[in-house]
Structure 1
Amino acid sequence: MEKLTEKDLNFDLKADTQKEALHALAEQAFERGKIADTEIFYQELCNREKESTTGFGNGVAIPHARHGVVQEAGILVARCKNNLEWNSMDGEPVNVCICLIAPDDQNDFHLKTLAKISRRMIHDDFIDTLKNASEADVLAEINKVIE
């Protein structure tokens, strides 16, 4: 997977609900050429949420899905100005999403990337960067984590 660029960020995600946020992420993935079908990928993100929440805590969710419509593995990072109810593990709302996109045949990428990001989620400085830092700083931090 190539490094994240500014095109992989959306620091002005327009959503009032979890489903609106997931749909916006699917649309962004389509616009970036990562997926072939917005609606199918959106449904996969929703299906994943039904299995168990991706709301990690501290206002951050890591929605993710593997599917055949994915053309290229990737990561999207989004910030929402308002808080979204997400059924998070800590019961708190979400305003940052790190969306993992993986083809069906790349379970290794999917699991390794999820593990790398999850390990960083326990560090307050990482959470602070995700929530408050500039685009350049967020890109540098995420790219450092996924190397």
Structure 2
Amino acid sequence: MDITTLLSPERIACKPDVSSKKRAFEQLAEMLATGQDTLGVDMIFDALTNREKLGSTTIGNGVAIPHACMSVTQPRGALLLVEDGIKMDAPDKKPVQLFMAILVPPNQAPDYSDLITQLTSTLIQKSLIEEICSYCDSETMLDHFITLFTPPNHPLEGALAA
């Protein structure tokens, strides 16, 4: 699974007015529902919050990766940046500023675990989070994520340099 195909500008937002976990998950659900007909916002919100009840999806350094397996045709992600951060059960007790939500089809669950591992190992870097949090433009954030997660010799690598 390629993280660079999960995001689109419509599913990236900088929302300084989001001040609760519930509202952050509602915003993520709205973005994840954009452009697909199979799942409604309420179904996505319920799936993300039910998964969160099993254990916090925060990884530290102000990052959370809420995720769920749902009946989507292909994996999709949404990225939400909040200005002041939201208190959650983070291992380092820092408020969450960056939410990277992911939905995957149930038959792709093994790939999904690898993706979570890849995201966690990259997004745990404090200097990287500070850099990402300085952006408030969805196109710039998407370009940055593509650069971060495009492997060497990938077709997108040459396109980005051009």
Q: What TM-score, normalized to structure 1?
A: 0.85
> Post-superposition shift, 1:125?
3.2
Identify the range of structure 1 (31-40 vs 93-102) with the bigger mean alpha-carbon deviation.
Answer: 31-40
Check 1:7–1:13 CA distance in 2 against 1; reply closer, same or farther (3 A cut): farther
Q: String of CA shifts for 1:96-123, please: whole Å, max 9, x gaps.
A: 1111111122113311211111111232
Amino acid at match of 2:74: E
Query: Counterpart in 2 of 1:30?
Result: 33
Paired residues, what number? Answer: 146
Q: How does 1:44-55 map to 2 (within 5 A)?
A: 44-55=47-58
- Cα distance in 1, alignment partners of residues 62 and 139 from structure 2: 21
Query: Counterpart in 2 of 1:92?
Result: 94
Q: How does 1:1-147 map to 2 (within 5 A)?
A: 2=5, 4-12=7-15, 14-33=17-36, 36-68=39-71, 70-133=72-135, 135-143=138-146, 144-145=148-149
Check 1:34–1:8 CA distance in 2 against 1; reply closer, same or farther (3 A cut): farther
The 8 Å contact of residues 11 and 34 in structure 2, kept in 1 or not, is answered as: no
> Post-superposition shift, 1:83?
1.9
The 8 Å contact of residues 59 and 124 in structure 2, kept in 1 or not, is answered as: no
| Structure possessing the higher radius of gyration over alpha carbons | 2
> Post-superposition shift, 1:53?
0.6
Could you say which structure has the higher strand fraction? 1
> Structure 1 unaligned runs (5+)?
none
> Post-superposition shift, 1:80?
1.2
Identify the range of structure 1 (29-38 vs 51-60) with the bigger mean alpha-carbon deviation.
Answer: 29-38
Amino acid at match of 2:149: V
Q: What TM-score, normalized to structure 2?
A: 0.78
Amino acid at match of 2:77: I
The 8 Å contact of residues 63 and 124 in structure 2, kept in 1 or not, is answered as: no
The 8 Å contact of residues 72 and 103 in structure 1, kept in 2 or not, is answered as: yes
The 8 Å contact of residues 7 and 77 in structure 2, kept in 1 or not, is answered as: yes
The 8 Å contact of residues 74 and 100 in structure 1, kept in 2 or not, is answered as: yes
